[in-house]
């Protein structure tokens, strides 16, 4: 049975990266995952916050929906950020810190800004893929300038899996599909299959263990393909 | 090999509930999980926020560390809440909404406040166990007053599992153990083993799939025992 | 004529202290004054804020009602604190600074956190009694470690007096009594009868001078007894 | 012994009121108490906040130091108000509510704004005197328009008394004197001597009971004179 | 003498519009003015804020620099917005309100969001051009659906003129040129030459009247060309 | 044709300065421009913010409407400032920085506080005139103490011009006139006629170029007279 956009259940949407979209940033990627568009920029700066100990660098991530990235306009988060934004920022930060060896970047702060221009489902996945690509670009630059000796970034990717209201499983949900899912799981893992993060964002329905296992397997199986796709576009400069 | 507090690897800390600790609340439980102490209160109020549609009630959770619940005093979150607090609040809210059938509570708002008095690891688990117990108390009251016909709360519990720096797995980590773990996983599931939430809070190290599976199995295996323990103390009034 | 809880007009409610309730704090007391419960923790830290001059230490107090300490749930003060909270914090801070000789604690900051778990009237009095006890515990520790030579804490206590709608005076009002008082006065004084603070929180009715004097005398007369009670429980460890 | 500005110990500073200073306000007074200058405006509006019950009107007071009212420039309180400001606002609000019979002003909100242009001690006293005068002006207008039948404002005034470092008592302290006082007391009372508020703002030194009584007597004795002075200038229009 | 990017003094940078870049918005344009890129979205909603009187609609504009739109990363304005942002938002809102006849859009709110992706000078001009185009698109849609009878948008455009440190005048400054200007002027005017806004953002140097007049003439002379350029790309859909 | 207050079209309102109104400030002027009253204080402090480079001093301006300076009471801007306030602060700051040579005040911060006591139109003009006078007073003091060698302040003034609904031009609008203007322009210029700032605050109607030129000429023609008036009152001490 075909999905509304013609995909099969296990088919991913087209992924396009435009590297270096913002020329000021140390790393930059405009990611298009179907109709979802996220601009991810990586900034490198000298120095780390006071609470960071010792020899390591520091990494933090920020996530933001532009007001009209959604069907209804959303207010800018100018007085306080929403719980959803805070949660996604924590999730992104943890994932990137798991993949980047900060001991190789002493006294450096890495900030990853993911700004969603259009949100048609999968903004976390797109932020992770774009962040990986932009980090890759920023690290390449450090290597080529002789600033670091060892490659600090583990290959990883992300994918989402949905448990639909007809008990089927679908990969890479659009916004409309997401609204009709009982649960969805974002799987973040290394190319070799080690798990970086698993985040279930669904509500309202406990997931049978067998279903959960199937979702996890389905997601993990796509990770190597996703890594390949991203790597295939790292030279795709604006 | 024994742990610092004498437990075996798979032994949980003692759990004590003091039900009705705050007499004004519709449901209230002071939870002690080892040295971790969390006061959880349930408030019921008429009416729901505007954005809630139709026939359902609404539930939200708030989480707060008292300033001296931790080894070093933490500033109160009076200007803005931290990312960690926001993330835990989202996590708790989702879990309680998955277990409480809000269609049976039309036009009612349920607020669950978890205030941590002393934080020795496992504050999310304690908040979930105490919240379940306090919700049980509040629902009992509604039933006994004939306000609802059907029991709305699914039996569930939570437990944490740590992957330690020596590659072993431990259940129910203390704060010191948590600081020495490579990763930890909070498992929230129904008595029958359906998964409500899985939340990995560790940083810095991808988890091999086999290890992840072992953590999940270990956690799920404890859920029925945890449910039993909580139920055994629901009459334990202050 | 008896009060609702059986007390005579000049009878205080039972007072219980559980010292060391929070083990991380330098001083800690869980105070129960009738049904009012306040957790007071004392934190000592090195260093003082920039605006503090010269050789003295610094002390500040924070006060907080937990959301369900009251009959109706109150919103957490997460964006700004209420005028009532700010006023009570100022009041507590002044009282503790009057009783603690900060010149004996050079370059130290003392923070006193009073978190109200259940508010049945008298939360300021309970905060003061608990804060005194927790400060005593913290200072004992400094003395036993040879960190200070001279005892820095003056013996003091607090009590509230209400002017009721039948023109009678009552000691130590519960919440319900407080709502039926024309005015109430919190008396904070040293064991020897010197006045630290007098704070009238009533509204709406000027108090005849003779009544005011009677309230003051009544309150001052209880201070030595209150000091005795607190001292009698300083060894009452959790 | 003379004071720096030539006054005797019990001499008040000159008091000048310029009524109607701001022509838009329902009541307005620019108060000069020595070098202290406070602009107090009264606003009347229809309607009361939701939390106000039944038949009464509502009154609130706001207090603000202009940035250069003090020797050193103070930051505007644009993100949050200080504890001191919050405390004074509560104090002023309570005092005005005690003197104004809000049951005669059903469904009306009264706001009293006290903005300190120059602060040379006694800003609370000046705010109270100016607020009384501005309220008088606003009530006069209501009476003359037949909007209220009964006079709602009780005659009252305020004065401050200082306990100086040489154990003497002084009335109406300037800023420099205030900095050299062990304690000071603001007495707010009706012309007939009933007490509206007593507020001690000193820190660091308990006050012997006999001293406290002498301060109170000294302050109360000045109230009728203060009421006379204010009334003598109510026609003193700009 | 040529400029760094090869332009003559009075040459504008290339302008590209990609209409409908965000498909959810009623009007949307991604503007590229040289290296400056701004995404402008127009949202239409039913209803107007309470303070808007009578028969008119309402329009407001928001402006935002993405964190890495600039050479150095800028913090997101999450707690408060900067004076610069507030000023630009006011400027944009006034200009759009002058050009859109809100009496033809009764009970409608128009929000224009300008998010700067890359800031190489002229972000206000780009926001105005993109906002005009996106408004055009949104109004076209209303007309084609028969929702409005009369065309509500006056043709206008904007251009910036710089007074350089060598006393020359340049059109359409890049960021580097802007930093070397003594003053710059943003001219917003209708196709027929009526002035909507003139905004000088330079600092530090009064501008001789004759120079000011020359800047104004130079800017006004470009407006018709700018209007033509924008209109030429209104069909340039993504 | 006469205006409501009897002035001719090109007649300015009476201007009165009371220099040194606040004695603590380095410079202070209470400005009365007709019924508009603004208190402007200049503060000088050592040190500059971190972002200020090199040898220059720093200047910033703050603007504030007191709550009852307007016909309807306005809320204090305690949580965030309005767009209007932010825009006026930017405008004032730029104007003063253009007139004060900060290279002659190395490592000094100048803060100009304009607090509007009564707002009957022209508050920006009054803030500029009062700020000039207060700066003059503060600079005089520096010169007389030998702290600076060279006079740093360029003579300038400001005036507003309105384009009225009958197509006439009026100088120096009152609040009521302002509400009936199609547009108004604030002209800030040096005595010799160089332009410091031009700010049009009107909305809703593009201004024909010839009208704009006439407004500009009319305003510029008044500047020397305005400078004379202000200088004539610089000795007018309180």
Q: B145 at the A interface (CB within 8 A)?
A: no
Q: In chain F, how many H helices and how many E strands? A: 4, 9
> C18: pLDDT confidence band, cut at 50, 70 and 90?
very high
Q: What is the pLDDT of residue B203?
A: 66
pLDDT digits (tens, 9 = 90+) for D184-224: 999 999 999 999 999 887 666 899 999 999 999 999 999 99
**Do at least 3 CB pairs under 8 Å connect A with B?**
yes
- Across the range E19-48, mean pLDDT stands at 97
> B51: pLDDT confidence band, cut at 50, 70 and 90?
confident
Look at residue E238 and tell me whether its pLDDT is greater than 80: no
Q: What is the pLDDT of residue A69?
A: 98
pLDDT digits (tens, 9 = 90+) for A20-36: 999 999 999 999 999 99
Look at residue B101 and tell me whether its pLDDT is greater than 80: yes
C-beta of residue F22 within 8 angstroms of C-beta of residue D68: yes
**Do at least 3 CB pairs under 8 Å connect E with C?**
no
F68/D117 touch (CB, cutoff 8 Å), yes or no: no
Query: Contacts of residue A56 in chain B, CB cutoff 8 Å?
Result: none
Query: Contacts of residue A79 in chain E, CB cutoff 8 Å?
Result: 79
**Backbone dihedral angles phi then psi of residue C167, each to the nearest 5 degrees:** 75, 5
Residues 198-227 of D with CB under 8 A from C: 198, 200, 203-209, 212, 220
pLDDT digits (tens, 9 = 90+) for D6-43: 999 999 999 999 999 999 999 999 999 999 999 999 99
Distance, CA of F170 to chain centre: 19
Return the partners of chain A (3 or more C-beta pairs < 8 Å): B, E
Look at residue E205 and tell me whether its pLDDT is greater than 90: no
C-beta of residue B167 within 8 angstroms of C-beta of residue B149: no
C67/B43 touch (CB, cutoff 8 Å), yes or no: yes
B237: closest CA of chain A, how far (Å): 30
For E13-51, give one letter per residue: b (16+ CB within 10 A) or e. bebebbbbbbebbbbbbbbbbbbbbbbbbbbbeeebeee
Look at residue E160 and tell me whether its pLDDT is greater than 80: yes
Determine how many CB atoms are found less than 10 A away from the CB of residue E178.
Answer: 18
- Across the range C106-112, mean pLDDT stands at 96
Return the partners of chain D (3 or more C-beta pairs < 8 Å): C, F
Sign for the CA dihedral angle at E86, E90, E91, E93 comes to positive
Q: What is the pLDDT of residue C55?
A: 77
Running DSSP on this structure, what letter comes out for residue C234? T
pLDDT digits (tens, 9 = 90+) for D83-99: 999 999 999 999 999 99
CA distance E188 to E157: 6
H-helix segments, chain B: 83-99, 123-144, 175-179, 209-232
Strand partners, D60: D111
Strand partners, C11: none
D198/C198 touch (CB, cutoff 8 Å), yes or no: yes
Residues in chain F predicted with pLDDT less than 70, given as ranges, are 1, 202-204
CA distances from B30 to A67, B39, B61 (A): 42, 4, 16
Q: What is the pLDDT of residue F226?
A: 97
Pick the closest to residue B132 from B210, B196, B214, B64 (CA basis). B196
Q: B193 at the A interface (CB within 8 A)?
A: yes
Q: What is the pLDDT of residue D237?
A: 87
Residues in CB range of F136: below 8 A, 6 or more apart:
F27, F153, F234
B56: closest CA of chain A, how far (Å): 12
CA distance F12 to F9: 9
**Backbone dihedral angles phi then psi of residue C170, each to the nearest 5 degrees:** -125, 145
Q: What is the pLDDT of residue B79?
A: 77
> C1: pLDDT confidence band, cut at 50, 70 and 90?
low
pLDDT digits (tens, 9 = 90+) for A153-194: 999 999 999 999 999 999 999 999 999 999 999 999 999 999
| Nearest C-alpha in D relative to C212 | D195
> D1: pLDDT confidence band, cut at 50, 70 and 90?
low
Look at residue A88 and tell me whether its pLDDT is greater than 90: yes
F94 labeled part of a ligand binding site: no
Q: What is the pLDDT of residue F1?
A: 66
Q: Over pLDDT 90: what percentage of chain A?
A: 89
> B2: pLDDT confidence band, cut at 50, 70 and 90?
confident
- Across the range C208-231, mean pLDDT stands at 97
> A1: pLDDT confidence band, cut at 50, 70 and 90?
low
Q: Over pLDDT 70: what percentage of chain E?
A: 98
Q: F83 at the E interface (CB within 8 A)?
A: yes
CA distance D7 to D14: 10
CA distance E45 to A73: 9
Q: B69 at the C interface (CB within 8 A)?
A: yes
pLDDT digits (tens, 9 = 90+) for E65-96: 999 999 999 999 987 899 999 999 999 999 99
Count the helix, strand and coil residues of chain B and give each as a percent rounded to the nearest 5.
30, 30, 40
> C202: pLDDT confidence band, cut at 50, 70 and 90?
low
C193/D209 touch (CB, cutoff 8 Å), yes or no: yes
Angle between helix D209-232 and D123-144 (nearest 10):
40
D215: closest CA of chain F, how far (Å): 31
Q: Which of F16, F20, F22 to mutate to test the interface with D (most CBs of D within 10 A)?
A: F22
The 3-class SS string of C55-78 reads CCCEEEEEEEECCCCCCCCCCCCC
Q: A73 at the E interface (CB within 8 A)?
A: yes
Sign for the CA dihedral angle at D43, D47, D50, D54 comes to positive
Tell me which of D226 and A51 has the higher pLDDT: D226
C-beta of residue D40 within 8 angstroms of C-beta of residue D31: yes
Q: Which domains, from first to last, does chain C contain?
A: 15-73+82-235 (3.30.230.70)
> B54: pLDDT confidence band, cut at 50, 70 and 90?
confident
F111/D70 touch (CB, cutoff 8 Å), yes or no: no
F117/D67 touch (CB, cutoff 8 Å), yes or no: no
In degrees to the nearest 10, what's the CA dihedral of A209, A210, A212, A213? 120
B156/A80 touch (CB, cutoff 8 Å), yes or no: no
**Do at least 3 CB pairs under 8 Å connect B with F?**
no
3-class SS at E2?
coil
Say which of B80, B111, B118 has its CB closest to residue C22.
Answer: B118
**Burial classification of residue C84, based on how many CB atoms lie within 10 Å of its CB (0-12 exposed, 13-18 middle, 19 or more buried):** middle
- Across the range E18-26, mean pLDDT stands at 98
Query: Contacts of residue C80 in chain B, CB cutoff 8 Å?
Result: 78
D124 labeled part of a ligand binding site: yes
Say which of B194, B203, B204 has its CB closest to residue A207.
Answer: B194
Say which of B24, B67, B81 has its CB closest to residue C68.
Answer: B24
Pick the closest to residue E203 from F91, F227, F187 (CA basis). F91
Q: D189 at the C interface (CB within 8 A)?
A: yes
Say which of A25, A28, A70 has its CB closest to residue E24.
Answer: A70
> C150: pLDDT confidence band, cut at 50, 70 and 90?
very high
ipTM of the complex: 0.95
Q: F70 at the E interface (CB within 8 A)?
A: no
A85 labeled part of a ligand binding site: no
Query: Contacts of residue B97 in chain A, CB cutoff 8 Å?
Result: 203-204
pLDDT digits (tens, 9 = 90+) for A114-151: 999 999 999 999 999 999 999 999 999 999 999 999 99
C-beta of residue C116 within 8 angstroms of C-beta of residue C31: no
Q: What is the pLDDT of residue C80?
A: 82
Q: What is the pLDDT of residue E136?
A: 98
Q: What is the pLDDT of residue B55?
A: 77
A195/B204 touch (CB, cutoff 8 Å), yes or no: no
Query: Contacts of residue C58 in chain B, CB cutoff 8 Å?
Result: none
* DSSP per-residue letters across D13-64: PPEEEEETSSTTSSEEEEEEETTEEEEEEEEEEE---TT--TT--EEEEEEE
pTM across the whole model: 0.95
* DSSP E strand boundaries for chain C: 15-19, 27-33, 36-46, 58-65, 108-118, 156-164, 169-171, 181-190, 195-200
Q: E109 at the A interface (CB within 8 A)?
A: no
């Amino acid at each position: 049975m075909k999905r509304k956009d013609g995909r099969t259940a296990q088919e991913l949407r087209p992924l396009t990266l435009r590297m270096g979209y913002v020329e000021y940033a140390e790393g930059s990627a405009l990611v298009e995952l179907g109709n979802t568009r996220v601009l991810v920029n990586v900034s490198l700066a000298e120095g780390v916050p006071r609470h960071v100990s010792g020899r390591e660098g520091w990494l933090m991530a920020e996530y933001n929906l532009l007001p009209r990235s959604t069907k209804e306009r959303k207010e800018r988060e100018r007085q306080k950020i929403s719980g959803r934004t805070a949660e996604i920022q924590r999730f992104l930060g943890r994932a990137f810190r798991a993949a980047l060896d900060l001991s190789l970047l002493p006294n450096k702060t890495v900030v990853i800004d993911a700004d969603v221009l259009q949100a048609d489902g999968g903004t976390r996945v797109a932020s992770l893929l774009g962040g990986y690509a932009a980090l890759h670009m920023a690290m390449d630059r450090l290597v080529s300038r002789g600033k670091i000796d060892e490659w600090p970034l583990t290959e990883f990717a992300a994918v989402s899996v949905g448990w639909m209201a007809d008990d089927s499983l679908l990969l890479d949900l659009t916004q409309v599909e997401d609204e009709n899912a009982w649960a969805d799981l974002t799987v973040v893992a290394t190319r070799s299959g080690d798990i970086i993060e698993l985040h279930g964002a669904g509500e309202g329905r406990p997931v049978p263990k067998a279903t959960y296992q199937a979702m996890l397997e389905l997601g993990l199986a796509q990770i190597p393909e996703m890594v390949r796709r991203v790597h295939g576009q790292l030279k795709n400069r604006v």
